[in-house]
Amino acid sequence: MRSYLRVRADHVEEVTGEVVREQPLTVYVNGDRFLTLLCSPMKLEALVVGYLWMEKVIQALDDVAGVSVSPVDGRADVTLRGPVELPTERILTSGCGGGITFRIDHRLFPRLHSGVRVQPRDVSQRMKELFAAAVHYKESRGIHGAALADERRLLVVAEDVGRHNAVDKVKGEALLRGIPTEDRILLSTGRVSSEMLLKAARMGVPVVASRTSPTEMAVALAEQLNVTICGYVRPDSLNVYAGSAVALTAGIGAPGE
């Protein structure tokens, strides 16, 4: 909790409230320093595991012998069951705070083949549930939420100052809890950029939905990888930018019609 001044018209008052928390977390893999993430200090084990999986450092949770996270020291030590060659060609992403990825080449991702079909009302309802579950957003605003869902309910919810971190936390928690991510819906409160779309494809997620917009590159990648991407999801409306996994009602054409 912090004290700050609230100015409304000509009135100034001192108030106390939550302010978004952010900290560096340096990740070591088998004793070697890998990288430093700027993140919100919650679900840090899920963040580390999810990030390593996204970057193909690990293929499954069984590859991990142990994870030790010290939020006080800002350090995470990961011990793998075998040696690994850490990627080194870093790419600065468009994520909040300037995210880092090593595996942005879409050719590394197979085209998805999924029979999932979801109703627009289900996508809208899951987005509403994400906002209801985003407790840190309610307290401080200025933080992103992400969730893994099916047509009926949310399965995993995560929040972070970086929207890409929130997605990594979703995957990490799914790994830790043994929840498959294939054929699910990935929800985000933030913009869907190219690296976020690739994270979804890596997870085997055929439907990505955002409260805001996708980037043009994300839409192009969604078309290539057979991912349905929705934006501006509201209680009674949404935009479908690519894909056919959202069952459009009569009178509403698919993209390009």
Q: Given this model, what pLDDT does residue 66 score?
A: 97
Per-residue pLDDT at 122 exceeds 90: yes
Give the E-state strand segments of the chain in sequence order: 2-8, 11-17, 23-29, 32-39, 64-70, 75-80, 91-92, 100-101, 144-149, 154-160, 185-188, 207-210, 228-234, 237-242
**pLDDT greater than 50 at residue 252:** no
Provide the pairing of β-strand 64-70 with 75-80. Answer: antiparallel
Active site residue 96: yes
pLDDT over threshold 70, residue 29: yes
Task: Please tell me whether residue 255 adopts helix, strand or coil conformation.
Answer: coil
> What gap in Å lies between CA 114 and CA 232, rounded to an integer?
23
> Which residues are CB-contacts of 90 (< 8 A; sequence separation ≥ 6)?
35, 100, 101, 102
C-beta atoms surrounding 52 within 10 Å: 27
Show me where the domains of the chain are located.
23-103, 120-242
Which fold, 23-103?
Ubiquitin-like (UB roll) (3.10.20)
Higher per-residue confidence, 191 vs 256: 191
**Of 12-21, 88-97, 130-139, 232-241, which gets the smallest average pLDDT?**
88-97
Sign of CA dihedral 103, 108, 111, 117: negative
What pLDDT is stored for residue 10 in this prediction? 86
The correct answer on CATH 3.30.530.20 for the domain covering 120-242 is no
Q: What is the pLDDT of residue 248?
A: 81
Residue 154 in contact with residue 147, Cβ under 8 Å? Answer: yes
The tens digit of pLDDT for each residue in 45-71 reads 999 999 999 999 999 999 999 999 998
pLDDT of 255 higher than 60:
no
Flag the least confident range among 133-137, 244-248, 251-255.
251-255
pLDDT for 64: 98
Look-up of token digits 């959202």: 246
Q: What is the CA radius of gyration of the chain?
A: 19
Mean pLDDT of 158-165: 94
Q: Record the tokens describing residue 190, joined without a space.
A: 């933030």
CA dist list (Å): 209 to 58, 92, 122, 135: 27, 23, 11, 20
Residue of 39, 52, 57, 96 marked active site: 96
Output the pLDDT for position 141: 73
The yes-or-no verdict on residue 17 having pLDDT over 60 is yes
**Distance between CA atoms of 13 and 15, rounded to whole angstroms?**
6
